[in-house]
Structures are given as structure tokens and as C-alpha cells.
Chain A
């Protein structure tokens, strides 16, 4: 319960993709449908790899995943996050 509470406190979600090309494509697709999406340095707590991830608002997650899945771009992982 405590961990769930913590997750819900976090305002953002970070979407992880195989490479920057997928991040850029996803960013564009989401922006085209007016969903806030921002490329950020991939947080080290989520991956040992260098690169870029996509930041979205928590409340946009369902719509974002729907848009991305339709284009074959489902993220590899989704993490709660605060800037």
C-alpha cells in the first residue's frame, strides 16, 4: 500500500524505448495528438544504458499507450517519475 501511494504521488511517467529513434517517433506521434511529451535523459535508476526516454504526464498514460500501440511503438517499460 505504501509503495502504491508513492507511485500515485509521482506526477509523471517515463516511457522507455529501445533507442532514441523510437523516442523521437513516439514524441512526434504524441505531440501530433496534443499529448504532452518531452525527451529527457534516460534516468540511470531505470537503465544502465545511455540515451533518451520520453516523459509524459501521469494522467495522459492511457491515451499515450493507446496511440503508441496503434503504431507498433509500445514502450518497453513505464516508470513513475518526478522531475
Chain B
């Protein structure tokens, strides 16, 4: 028996259609888009544009040129932060951010004298709009960076309210949608300056190797300086980077197998229905949270209500997280233990430096699997 509960790291079961799309690309196309015009290259170019259009529409944009592909979400976040921020900029972020955001902001605070402050979520990992409003009164910020769903405690930011608040104050917003895209609705707003960072291989059900940034308007996109410069297949006679999107921010060979997998993953989500997927994950999250919370020696983190989805962290009294993880693995339940590349989130919920055991649910997990996982935790907590 193998029960995979590490979907926060990467989704393990992929739809058959995703697997077929990748195999078909490698077997029948397997060439670079945008560099030549022989039939295979045109086919690759068309697949790339199809993916660009599909992903853009999924996030509520009708302009596929405002989508920039990267190799993962960490690169997308680096592209935005390093490309947007200038010396002396002040950034407001949250205490729930992944290190992709916090390490980059820390590095930039040394390299370019930017500064950043955190809005702290409460001990359950819940962050309400009032805290943002208070924080934004204190300083004039150049940028807000916010995590839509925490990878440690699964709490959902009131994103639409944050978007409205930032638009009203004229502050650009970068949303880390890595855990939320494919789980809850995530749409670019028409107002304000907003960019979303996403990845191919978690709840969007593609394979590892692609991520991206999508912007809600041209003026924000045009402000981003390239992270990587090089060949784009355009303006080849020039030794300077193109200044139009997406070419300006997409140098080098694109990860086409991952990009076609992402398009296929979005097809699956769209045909299944994102609402159905969200409801399934909410049902499993409730079952998991309540099941773990019923075990005497287990502490479960998060509010356990509609503000938490897919991710449930817990600890077992008297047994370290690593040991719990090993015991679970030996019984066929696979999860991630430790600090989950988010030490600040653990400080927020009071689990630093020990960390937690994290179960993260995917669409293909079942109620039976959740029940078995809870039973195994019960046995471990009882010393069995």
C-alpha cells in the first residue's frame, strides 16, 4: 500500500491525459519552438502558443503575451522581485511566505538596499485583511508580496480583498499562487497591478520543469527587467535583448514537455470542474483535520475551517517529526516533515525550530486513504 500525501511538494498521480501529452510531444515533436519553420518546429510553436493561451484564460487573462514561462515558480518569483525592485524600495510581505520569497528579499536587502516588513498571521496561520490595512497605513510600500495558500498550514489569504486594497493604494502586488492554482479559483483582477507566480507540477497536475508569471496589464509587465538574457529566436541580428514580451523575459530553450503537460493538466481541471476539485479537497481536509484532532497526543495546526484547504500540519507529543515521518513511510504513508522551506510560517504557528509533519492532499486522494493515514498516526501516537 502506498498513500501519497505530499502533493504540496509535487502532485504524484497525474491524469492519463497529461502523461499522454508528454509522451506524444517527446515521441512525435521533440523540437524547439520559435527557432525554425520546418513542420515539426511550427507544430512545437503552435503547441507553445496553445499552452500560453490556455493558461492565460485559466487565470482570467485574454492576452497570452503577458504570460512568461520559467522553469519553476522559484525562478518566476526571482524574475519578478529581481526585475521589479530598485534600490531603496520597501516591500510588505507576510509571515507565511515560502523561502522563494523571503530568501530573495533577504538577498536583495543586501544587494540593493531594499527593505521588507512582514504582516504576521495569527497563531493558527490566519491572516485577515484588517492586518494588511493597518500595515499599509504605516509605510509607503513599493510592492506587496503575498502567499495565497500557505504550504505549511494550508490557510487561505483573502486574496480578492488584498487585490482591492493594493489597487486602491496604487501598490503593485505579487501573488504566490503555487499552492492555490488548481485548488481554488485564482483570477487576475482588472484593476491594479498584479502578477501571479505559478508552477506546473503541483495542483495544476503537470510535470516538473515549468512555471511562470502572468501579469494583469502591460505596464507592470514592461517594468520587469530580465533575470536571464540570451537567445530568444527573435531579432537574432541584434546583440541586445528584445524589449517586447514575452521574448524579453524568456531566453533560452523552453521546457516544452513540462509546458505541454501544464496545458493538459489545465484541460483536465477545466473538464473535471475546478469547483468539484475544490469541494473534494475541502471534504478531505475536514476529514483529515478532524481525524487527527481526535487523537489525544496529536496537535493539529490551522483553523480547521473553510480558511484551510489541502494542507494539514501536525505534531505528535514526545515523538519528533522526523521519526513520525519515518514510521509513516514504513507503513506506506508518504509525507514531508520539517520546516518545508518556510521557517517564518513555522514561527507564526509556534513550531519553529522543530517543524511539523505535513500531510498535503491532492485531487486523487480518497477518503479511504485519509482514514488509513489518520489510523496510522493514531497507532504511532499510541506507541505502536
Contact = CB atoms under 8 A, between A and B. Distances in A.
Interface of A: 18-25, 27-28, 39-42, 48-52, 72
Contacts of A72: 63
Given A19-B232, A19-B244, A51-B236, A24 B35 contact: no
The list of the 10 closest CB pairs from A to B, nearest first, reads A19-B234, A24-B49, A20-B34, A41-B37, A48-B237, A50-B236, A49-B236, A19-B247, A52-B37, A39-B42
Q: Which of B64, B233, B242 is most buried by chain A, counting CB atoms within 10 A of its CB?
A: B233
A51 B41 CA distance: 11
Interface of B: 33-37, 42, 45-46, 48-49, 52-53, 63-65, 232-238, 242, 244, 246-247
A79 B236 CA distance: 20
A49 B36 CA distance: 11
A25 B65 contact: yes
Given A27-B46, A39-B37, A49-B237, 5 more contacts: A21-B247, A23-B45, A24-B45, A42-B37, A50-B36
A49 B247 CA distance: 14
A28 B52 CA distance: 13
A51 B97 CA distance: 41
Nearest to A17: B234
B46 to A, nearest CB: 6
A51 B234 contact: yes
B45 A52 contact: yes
A39 B45 contact: yes
Contacts of A50: 35-36, 233, 236
A22 B237 CA distance: 18
A49 B45 contact: no
A39 B38 CA distance: 9
A40 B247 contact: no
A32 B42 CA distance: 17
Contact of A20 (B45, B53, B238, B244): B45
Contacts of B65: 21-22, 25
Contacts of A25: 49, 53, 64-65
Contacts of B37: 39-42, 51-52
B237 A20 contact: no
Contacts of A22: 65
Q: Which of B37, B63, B64, B236 is most buried by chain A, counting CB atoms within 10 A of its CB?
A: B37
A21 B34 contact: yes
A20 B64 contact: no
A59 B364 CA distance: 53
A30 to B, nearest CB: 13
A58 to B, nearest CB: 21
Nearest to A26: B49
B34 A51 contact: yes
A51 B233 contact: yes
Nearest to A50: B236
Given A18-B247, A24-B49, A52 B236 contact: no
Nearest to A18: B244
Contacts of A20: 33-34, 45, 233-234
A41 B36 contact: yes
Contacts of B33: 20
Contacts of B52: 21
B176 to A, nearest CB: 26
B233 A19 contact: yes
Nearest to B47: A24
A83 to B, nearest CB: 13
A62 to B, nearest CB: 24
Contacts of A51: 34-35, 37, 233-234, 236
B179 to A, nearest CB: 29
Nearest to B63: A72
A57 B169 CA distance: 50
Nearest to A53: B37
A27 B37 CA distance: 13
Contact of B42 (A19, A48, A49, A52): A52
A37 B246 CA distance: 22
Contacts of A18: 234-235, 242, 244, 247
Q: Which of A18, A24, A49 is most buried by chain B, counting CB atoms within 10 A of its CB?
A: A24
Nearest to A23: B45
Contacts of A48: 236-237
